[in-house]
């Protein structure tokens, strides 16, 4: 079951996922911030205030989409993919041979309270 999303302590409406950008645009009207663009190497960087990052539930390293809409820069948070154990295991090659490091690790004695 997916955890309900909250902004400012309030649960978001059920239509939020479909209209996320519109809802965030409306919500952000009350959270107007100004920032400076800075040259860093060959790129230009923009510092995003922590309050806005908190509203969007993103942080450093988050993947975002960028677009220009009517002369405005639009930043669209891209959710991280969530994988099931079965999906992850499907990517593994069960026929692959174990390396010496793998064998050493598997044959080593437990170091703590491992259940294996």
Confidence at residue 18, expressed as pLDDT on a 0 to 100 scale: 44
Confidence at residue 50, expressed as pLDDT on a 0 to 100 scale: 87
Do you know the residue count of the chain? 116
Sign of CA dihedral 10, 13, 18, 19: negative
pTM for the predicted model, two decimal places: 0.42
Domains of the chain and CATH, by start: 6-77 (2.10.260.10)
* Rounded mean pLDDT, 76-102: 88
Nearest to 51 by CA among 78, 32, 66: 32
């Amino acid at each position: 079951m997916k955890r309900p999303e909250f902004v400012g302590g309030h649960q978001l409406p059920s239509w939020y996922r479909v209209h996320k950008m519109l809802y965030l645009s409306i919500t952000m009207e009350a959270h107007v911030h100004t920032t400076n663009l800075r040259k860093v190497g060959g790129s230009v960087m923009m510092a995003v205030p922590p309050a806005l990052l908190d509203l969007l539930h993103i942080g450093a390293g988050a993947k975002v989409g960028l677009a220009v809409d009517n002369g405005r820069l639009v930043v669209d948070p891209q959710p991280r993919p969530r994988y099931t154990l079965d999906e992850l295991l499907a990517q593994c090659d069960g026929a692959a041979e174990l390396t010496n490091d793998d064998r050493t690790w598997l044959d080593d004695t437990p170091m703590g309270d491992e259940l294996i």
